[in-house]
Amino acid sequence: MNLMPDPLHPALVHFPIVLILLGAAAAIVAACWRGGQVPRFAALLLALGALGAWAAVETGESSGGLLERGSPEMEGLVDAHETWAKRTFALAGVAAVASVAAALAGRCPRLARGVAVMAAIASAAAAYAVYETGQRGGALVYRHAAGVEVLAHPPPGDGDTATHPRTAQNAEGKTKDRDPD
């Protein structure tokens, strides 16, 4: 039994999305309120988010070559998705470094506050980059069916092909999703 998903990219991308968005929220709170463990929590979330963004970029590059053989529109969308993913990684890295610096500068309140504001701005930019990357990735999957496996036959015990949602075909032989209602 193989526990590693194949391809890995779709399974991995959701971790940096969540970590960067939560890290951005925590960094904004840390810029306004320096109490408790909020600055450290923001630093941890953003550092893990940057690490996850790196992994998502790497796994996307290894599987992205398969998608670039599609239509010219799809190729452009893959390139835009990759560009925004690299921006997300870079911005998350800057936000993580600034957030760690703000957490470590706790003994110097003015310096810590200034660096925390920089971390909040960088993390907000990283959160926006996550949005842009996700928009393009979602378009690849939901508009162009990039990476979607279409089954020629339903799994055993699932009934006939005409009623199986992943194999239902229209008159032109193209696979289409069925509405569950």
Question: What pLDDT tens digit does each residue of the chain (181 aa) get?
Answer: 788 877 889 889 999 999 999 999 999 999 999 888 999 999 999 999 999 999 999 999 877 666 656 778 888 898 999 999 999 999 999 999 999 999 999 889 999 999 999 999 999 999 999 999 999 999 988 888 877 765 566 666 655 444 444 444 444 555 555 455 4
Q: Domain check: are 58 and 132 in the same one?
A: yes
Tokens describing residue 3:
């526990």
Q: Domain check: are 144 and 158 in the same one?
A: no
158 in a structural domain:
yes
The parent domain of residue 108 ranges over 9-148
Q: How far is CA 47 from the centre of its chain?
A: 15
Strand pairing partners for 175? 169
Q: Domain check: are 130 and 171 in the same one?
A: no
CB 39 within 8 A of CB 99: yes
Q: Domain check: are 71 and 160 in the same one?
A: no
Residues 50 and 71: their CA atoms lie apart, in Å, by 31
156 in a structural domain:
yes
Q: Domain check: are 115 and 163 in the same one?
A: no
DSSP characters for 52-109?
HHHHHHHHHHHHHHHHTTS-HHHHHHHHHHHHHHHHHHHHHHHHHHHHHHHHHTTTSH
Q: Domain check: are 21 and 102 in the same one?
A: yes
3 in a structural domain:
no
160 in a structural domain:
yes
Q: Domain check: are 113 and 143 in the same one?
A: yes
CA torsion through residues 105, 111, 112, 117, sign: negative
CA torsion through residues 142, 148, 152, 154, sign: negative
Strand pairing partners for 169? 175
Question: Considering only CA atoms, which of 128, 180, 141 is closest in space to residue 21?
Answer: 128
Q: Domain check: are 91 and 47 in the same one?
A: yes
Q: Domain check: are 36 and 100 in the same one?
A: yes
Q: Domain check: are 112 and 38 in the same one?
A: yes
Residues 13 and 72: their CA atoms lie apart, in Å, by 24
Q: Domain check: are 165 and 93 in the same one?
A: no
Q: Domain check: are 60 and 124 in the same one?
A: yes
pLDDT at 158: 53
Task: Say if residue 7 is preceded by a cis peptide, omega within 30 of 0.
Answer: yes
* pTM of this structure: 0.78
- Structurally, how many domains does the chain consist of? 2
